[in-house]
Structure 1
């Protein structure tokens, strides 16, 4: 089955390149460094390195505490970090600079993966969440490179997809060294696909292990003071919105302004190639400013478009409440642990399969509310603005969940140590 999969991958390579060019229309970085995706990246060698693969921004942010811990544990070991998107690449460079080697992950074809491994020569491979590729795993297994699937999650939807290709998925799973699953439900789905229980440990989600340093807290407070101005205006953050969600957020914001006319909406699209379109959409209906333009927020500004990269954690600290995007479309939601760690009330739509266990904990603790419609979002936001004690209690409930579930990083690092030193 893997041979058929490989042949198919080679056949569609021209279309993959065309897709890169198509995406580069809005995000020019997709047309750059494409050679790395085929395993060509100069003469850099990093023998006995630790290879960490994170797909995009979310996985990269989750991996950063782990990577920094590995740098402290193994100061003489090169760290190689791969991503598949330019935004993930930017996050790696901004957070880690030249302390790690970053390249784009090779396409899952034997030649590409082989060239990559020849140059990097890892002693250990760590794959974040569920970015599993049959040829990559097989190549590592053949070379005796342990593969750790870290912070692993497997939704019921994804499990069904793997089940349809069980002849390809089962051998791949058998070649993994260890799976550090976020929850027992994730582990069970891996077992159902053929993973042995000896290969899996439930570590929890390392996304709970967030450190909010004094510098970050200070920056968030300064930003809050700017946004709230002297009037103490309420601040609603709509974070990581997707195509089809911005209109709904703005629809709900119209209703919020009818009852709370001083409210400021901070709208942050998920993908940078949409920044201009979302800004134009907001400008048609509201008085706006763009974060990239700098300057203080004017009193008459109704919507601030968050069109910068790397500031989301500061935005969570600066807002009064947050709505998480990717949840009003079938995208499975985005990381609601981040606003919870700041002690902010959290709202989300009904699509939550990417964070099923986290969302369950937050909902049961009354730290997060699910809103199906823009009208429901407006109603809940206005309720909290009018009842600050309820808003405070909801934020404290969210923070309690975040604090109670820390410790996954230490459990994951213990697994990595065992595999690295075996």
Structure 2
């Protein structure tokens, strides 16, 4: 039954996919131009490689990660994997230009970094022939039907690490369960953050026997490089006034930059904005200049003319963790005007008070656990930002900061457990 269902899913998918690719190629090219993707080996997406196949690793652990967030999880997994099983060759395959850039910069030198192939049969087939994976590892819940089906046909085990599934995603999949269950039924091993994720995956077709609760790699600080203050970062911040408190909005989405910056107009701290997507720099700068700020971009840094009325925008990729170490208060983006929030763990690990908007559903149950111990403050709206910042800067949140770090310790060792659960012998 599963094979029959999979056949029809792939048939429809392979009829529709080329049309979608043609429609999407224009916007995709524009996005790559903005993100600097061209000139980075992007032809690998259609199976054209600079490296001769004779010099490629084979029998690899093939790790598929989409963008920056998934790549950072993959890098933690790889570090633990290589420490435990140094004989394994690893290929890391991000999808986006920003994810690829982070992988190239941060992956160990013995890890082959490529762009993940477009999910067309002939492209996927070429990749599988080139690297002859002994197993696939998908990070989180990214699903490509041809990649999975062709790996299954070749008896390549399909595994998933950090397989979080939100209630909202479960509801969406339930509506098309007949289409997705044959795909999810191909998973051989799945490491999930908690028991609730286990139940949700089972409800959409993953075998109970395939699932193991491992904890969340995102929240596991074991072996992670702690956020650290960098002298060059501090020198830039000092240009806005030595000793000023730093209020840092992390991974913001459209509209949130202006919301935070407007709330900070009446506050004494330095407003620092870290947009989720660096290529939005011009849009962000325009929004902040309309509020009367002198906007300084990290990519074009100069000493502000009037530090008291300046705002600092960190338009870089892969530096978020260490910028967080310089914050006195962290405000989490995608939680006010976006949906689901961004990862608060780096701010918690940095030991700073954390403020969020009303929607942090992407990081449950962690956020509820943090709230219970006073380790995070979730606001009802952006109108409450100024008052919350004043409370945090007054030192009123110090006990909650320590309690939040204790909550993170519950996921200690999740990366190692995930490797043990997923590795195929």
Same fold at TM > 0.5: yes
Residue 406 of structure 1, CA deviation = 1.2
Equivalent residues in 2 for 1:352-391, closer than 5 Å: 352-385=360-393, 387-388=394-395, 390-391=396-397
Q: What RMSD over aligned residues (CA atoms) do the two structures have, in Å?
A: 2.4
Give the equivalent residue in structure 1 for 2:228: 217
Q: CA deviation at 1:128?
A: 0.4
| CA pair 11-291 structure 1, distance change in 2 beyond 3 A | closer
Q: CA offsets, 1:79-124, max 9 Å, x none? A: 1111111110111011126432111111222222111111121111
Q: Which residue of 1 aligns with 2:294?
A: 287
Q: Counterpart of 1:324?
A: 332
Most deviating of 279-288 and 291-300 = 291-300
Residue range with higher mean Cα deviation, 28-37 or 124-133: 28-37
Quick one: distance in 1 between partners of 2:242 and 2:229?
20
Tell me: CA distance 1:228–1:22, structure 2 relative to 1, closer, same or farther (3 Å): closer
Residue 338 (structure 2) pairs with residue 302 (structure 1): no
What's the TM-score, normalizing by structure 1?
0.90
Structure 2-normalised TM-score? 0.90
Aligned to 1:312: 320
- Matches of 1:60 and 1:415, distance apart in 2: 20
2:240 corresponds to 1:250:
no
Q: Which residue of 2 aligns with 1:187?
A: 198
**Inter-CA distance 312–73: structure 2 relative to 1 (3 Å threshold):** same
Corresponding residue for residue 149 of structure 2 = 138
C-alpha distance in 1 between matches for 2:231 and 2:321:
8
Match of 2:247 among 230, 236, 240: 236
The match for 1:277 among 283, 289, 296 is: 283
Contact 1:40 1:116 in 2 (8 A): no
Q: Is the 8 A contact 1:226 1:296 kept in 2?
A: no
Structure 1: gaps (5+ residues): none
In the alignment, is the contact (CA less than 8 A) between 1:341 and 1:399 conserved in 2?
yes
1:403 aligns with: 409
The match for 2:420 is 414
Q: Secondary structure at the match of 1:217?
A: coil
Distance 1:224 1:369 in 2: 30
Distance in 1, Cα, partners of 2:23 & 2:101: 25
Q: 1:162 to 1:109 in 2, by over 3 A?
A: farther
Q: Check if 1:150 corresponds to 2:161.
A: yes
Partner of 1:22: 30
Instruction: Note closer, same or farther for the CA distance 1:416–1:227 as it changes in structure 2 (3 Å cut).
Output: farther
Check whether the contact 2:229–2:323 (CA below 8 A) recurs between aligned residues. no
| Matching residue within 164, 167, 170 for 2:178 | 167
Indicate how the Cα distance of structure 1 residues 336 and 7 shifts in structure 2: closer, same or farther if over 3 A, else same.
Answer: same
- Quote the offset at 1:76 in angstroms: 3.8
Describe how 1:197-208 pairs up with structure 2 within 5 A. 197-208=208-219
Deviation at 1:323, TM superposition (A): 0.8
- Quick one: structure 1 residues 293 and 146, their matched pair in 2 at CA, closer, same or farther if it must change by over 3 Å? same
How far apart, CA to CA, are the structure 1 residues paired with 2:183 and 2:238?
50
Consecutive unaligned residues of structure 2, counting only runs of 5 or more, are 1-8
SS across alignment from 2:247:
strand
Q: Is the 8 A contact 1:20 1:30 kept in 2?
A: no
